[in-house]
Amino acid sequence: MEEQDLSKFITIIDYIGQMENGVSVLLSMKVDEKIYELIYWFDNNDNYYMNVDKNFLNDYKIKSIYDYKNYKKLAFYIHNYVLKNKDEIFKEFYKN
């Protein structure tokens, strides 16, 4: 991931919608020519949760996305650039 252009690294596949007190988005993540799916959940307080498909975990020999050495960089990029319109997404998909 270090040498890849992050703007070509992650794209939004679908808006899953409301889950508990936040909103989930399905993302496509390309690493070394392989495509993985990632679910990104966030709330109105900038809390987030990530879950990646098992192929990614197996390929990187980790048990959780949080064990991935670049997960903080990944989360920052998703939260600030991929989902730059988080407020609009939240308003559209979060129903009280």
For the chain, give every domain's residue range: 6-87
5-14, 17-26, 62-71, 87-96: range with lowest mean pLDDT = 5-14
Q: Is the pLDDT assigned to residue 10 strictly greater than 60?
A: yes
Give the residue carrying structure tokens 């998909």. Answer: 93
Please state the rounded mean pLDDT for residues 91-96: 84
In the predicted structure, residue 75 carries a pLDDT above the cut 80: yes
Per-residue model confidence (pLDDT) at position 41 = 95
pLDDT at 95: 81
CB atoms within 10 A of CB 76: 12
What is the amino acid identity at position 60? Answer: Y
Distance CA 33, CA 25 (A): 22
Using one digit for the tens of pLDDT, what is the confidence trace for 17-62?
A: 999 899 999 999 988 889 999 999 999 898 999 999 999 999 999 9
What distance in Å separates the CA atoms of residue 83 and residue 40, rounded to the nearest whole number? 10
pTM of the model: 0.85
